[in-house]
Amino acid sequence: MQNWLPWIIGLAVAALIVVPMATYNPPTETGVVLTGRVIEASGEPLRARVEAWQAWEHSYGSPVNYWKIPNWRMPVATTDAGGYFRLEDLIDYPEMKSHEYYIVIAPDRPGYAHTGYYLDLTKHQEGEVIDWGTIAVNRDASSGR
């Protein structure tokens, strides 16, 4: 019987870990959707990665799970050939005390710095589609390119 004891304890511990993970139901909210178009200052469409970072204290944002939200994934979109993007699943989680995302636009061409803007979720309803219109991105003057 003593040889079985570690196995029984191991199964009990595994059940305590696996069962809560298997029964966790993520939020069914769809959140808000953010759309827009990224262009160069010249008006040409710009390929870019658009990310929604968790924000806190309205001056800081990070791609890490700062608020420790279970099963959180950073919403990400990529612009198409015309520079258009659609960023989905911007959910106002109860754990996210700032109720803000810092939206980062990172062009994929050399010589362009990434830029960001805050999105206050308290001003929008679940399911709403927010169109930020056209966002012009300038070359990074410090890069010398």
Class of CATH domain 28-140? mainly beta
pTM for the predicted model, two decimal places? 0.75
State how far the alpha carbon of 121 is from the alpha carbons of 26, 68, 79, 91, in Å: 19, 18, 22, 8
Per residue of the chain (145 residues), give pLDDT as tens: 567 776 666 666 666 676 565 565 655 678 999 999 999 999 999 999 999 999 886 667 888 888 889 888 899 999 999 999 999 999 999 888 889 999 999 999 999 988 999 999 999 999 999 999 999 998 876 655 4
User: Residue ranges per domain, the chain?
Assistant: 28-140
Estimate to the nearest angstrom the gap between the alpha carbon of 60 and the chain centroid: 14
Confirm if 145 and 110 have CB atoms less than 8 A apart.
yes
